[in-house]
Amino acid sequence: MHSKHRHPLAGKWRKFLNKTIFGLPLLTWLVLLFSLWLFVVILGTKLSGLWKLVLVVVEMLFVSKYLEVKHHFEAYYSMVLVRSKKGLNIIRSLAHSLGNYLDVLADVYFALAFGLLSLWLMDWQPLSKRIFSLILSWILLFSLALLYPFATSYISAFLPAPSHAVYTANTSLVSSLILFLGGFVSLLSFFTYASAISILHQLYIHFFVSSVAVKEAVTLVLPGITIPLFEGLLALIIVLVVHEGGHALLTVRERVPLLSSGLVLFGSIPIGAFVEPDEKRLFSKSRRSVARVLSSGPGFNFLTTVVFGILFLAFLTYSTPYTSNGCYVVGGALPKGTIITGFANSSCYTTLPANASVNVELANGTTLAMKTNEEGKLNVLVYPIGKTSGLHYYKIGWLEFLYNFLGLTFALNLFVGLVNLIPIPLFDGDHLLRSVVKSDFLYNAVRYSLLLAFLILLLPSLL
């Protein structure tokens, strides 16, 4: 009878792999690092964006399942929650230090969400303080309005322009009135309905009249696929930490218990942070508590938008772009990302002769011969690039990294804050609507009709 002998190195190797670092065995860390390496390799292939997305999702589903089974992490729809109570002390300390300032900020954010209606809805404050909150919300709104064109021009390099841009241009008086009277919640609801109607009209033309392309209204923000990888991950982490941190600070301030906090992982990719309040206690509180806690998430996103917007504009002002002036191609006959410095010796937006051949000068030094149409335009969709625009093009790597990090953090905070105020299920706007609408019928009619409209916005991306 032979006894089994293990090589002494095998035992030492197993012991080494089981050594824990920050609570996880070294073997698990190696699995996570390998999955991140494979993630970067997939993104570096020449596959289409759709295939990259499919491969990344499949890979991260396996990693999430590994963490769930091996280490018993809690997972929702493959999103792994790494819980910890260590961050709660920091949140409580900040909430105690900021004190009444948090109350003022939360009321300002609520006024921004509901506009002039907030004078009636904020019944927990005397009229003078309601007016003060409303005035401060208008100052914040004015700041966001000044920064909005820079955010949209910057993000256009990666994502389609917002589908509601046509409505802001054609119905500026109506949209301004809606924003003034009902705040962002009312305006975003209007844009969601209007954009859905526009998409349905385009789909009707596409299928029954002529095969005209339908403009995408919603695009997923995916680091490494639709936005730069590392800058995108950093920006999204900041956006989500700010959003959840805002909720957490006001949760503590309103004396609602915080059960836990932690990180959210999709496989090995950190996609955000979370705080877990005692929801039963929260929704049993007064309307003031619910309103302040729920509006603080998007509100702090807007405040961060202003901070990073200023940093972004300062960076644009004092950094030297590779191409000072020109146009960034986002669609048409030339590949997206092409930099046009001019047409012959004219600027990009100069009217050109109809049905004529012109020389198109590119930033890489080449010149292309293109033909204009009957209106003297080329088949390219461009955005201005240079000091008066949010779009720049940098040759130096670290400048490009800073540009994208600041720009993405600035723009995504704005758009995440706005989207979260749409009153559809799972969004903050839904709970805010519940806090101010007493009729169950009206509440459900609005939230589910808006959900249907929002889903319609996703249809063009499926075609």
Neighbours of 244 (CB within 10 A): 21
115 φ/ψ sector (left φ>0, alpha ψ -120 to 50, else beta) = left
Q: How high is the pLDDT of residue 167?
A: 38
User: pLDDT tens digit string along 75-94?
Assistant: 777 788 877 777 788 888 88
77 φ/ψ sector (left φ>0, alpha ψ -120 to 50, else beta) = left
Instruction: Decide: helix, strand or coil at residue 344.
Output: coil
Q: Write down the residue that tokens 């972004």 correspond to.
A: 312
Question: What's the farthest any 2 CA atoms get from each other in the chain?
Answer: 96
Domain residue ranges of the chain, discontinuous segments joined by +: 15-73, 86-319+402-462, 332-385
Per DSSP bridges, beta strands 74-76 and 79-84 are: antiparallel
Q: How far apart are CA 240 and CA 387, in angstroms?
A: 30
Residue 331 has pLDDT above 70, yes or no: no
Q: Which residue, among 69, 66, 41, has the nearest Cα to 55 in the 3D structure?
A: 41
Whether the full predicted model's pTM is greater than 0.75, yes or no, is yes
Structure-block tokens of residue 114:
């509901």
Per DSSP bridges, beta strands 339-343 and 24-25 are: unpaired
Residue 270 has pLDDT above 60, yes or no: yes
Q: Write down the residue that tokens 């496989």 correspond to.
A: 267
User: pLDDT tens digit string along 116-150?
Assistant: 999 999 999 999 999 999 999 999 999 999 999 88
